[in-house]
Copies of this chain bind each other. A is one copy, B any other.
Amino acid sequence: MKKIAIVLAGCGVFDGAEIHEAVLSMLAIQKQGAEFQLFAPDIAQSHVINHLSGEIMTEERNVLIESARIARGNIKALSMYNAAEFDALIFPGGFGVAKNLCNFAFKGSSMEVLPEVINSIQETHQMNKPIGAMCISPVIIAKLLPGTELTIGNDVETSVLVEELGGKHKIANFTEVISDKKNKIFTTPCYMLQANLVQIAKGTENLISKVIEACI
């Protein structure tokens, strides 16, 4: 049975992992006969957003502890990730990716990536294992694996930044997956487009299917 690691960036679209993309990735993996293990970095969130008002709240939360809500407690610190133990690595989206896993939301194409995220992607890539990234997560791939073909949907401003980071941006529609087979990188827009839940479910299924096909 293929074993797939999923990296979460908190719990909630505006400051953490996009919950629908995360849950539907987990479902897609199980539906396709594989199993998953969740990971998240054990760091403070860059901030906490009130998801009702959109305003910043004056509290502090931890990315691993909040991600554990999506995981029902079954999650590990990303520093424990060992690429040798997994067949593939998946990054759901959400602003938390651009705020906690890297600082793209604040620095655009001059962003930095969290060291344990760099390690997880580089180790997995060096072992020739596939990586799937949805929504805004491909910005991290663009930075770490320059020259990779990938998508963040059709947003012009963001795709210019992706190109500045080093990615080769391809426009993609709802549920479409851009496959860079040479680099084993698979990306899909999910909520980077005005998608509904049925489209998110289909997009994550398509992505996971391509990732599993590319497993050794």
Contact = CB atoms under 8 A, between A and B. Distances in A.
B54 A73 contact: yes
A105 interface: no
A189 to B, nearest CB: 16
Contacts of A201: 27, 31
A31 B54 CA distance: 29
A12 interface: yes
Most buried by B among A31, A51, A71: A51
**How many copies of the shown chain assemble into the complex?**
2
Overall SS of chain A's interface: helix
A68 interface: yes
A192 interface: no
Interface in A72-87: 72-73, 75
A23 B19 contact: yes
A110 interface: no
A141 to B, nearest CB: 24
A125 to B, nearest CB: 28
Interface in A53-69: 53-54, 59, 64-66, 68-69
A197 B31 CA distance: 8
A72 B51 CA distance: 7
Nearest to A198: B30
Nearest to A20: B23
A54 to B, nearest CB: 7
Contacts of A52: 64-65, 68, 73, 75
B13 A69 contact: yes
Contacts of A11: 11-12, 19, 69
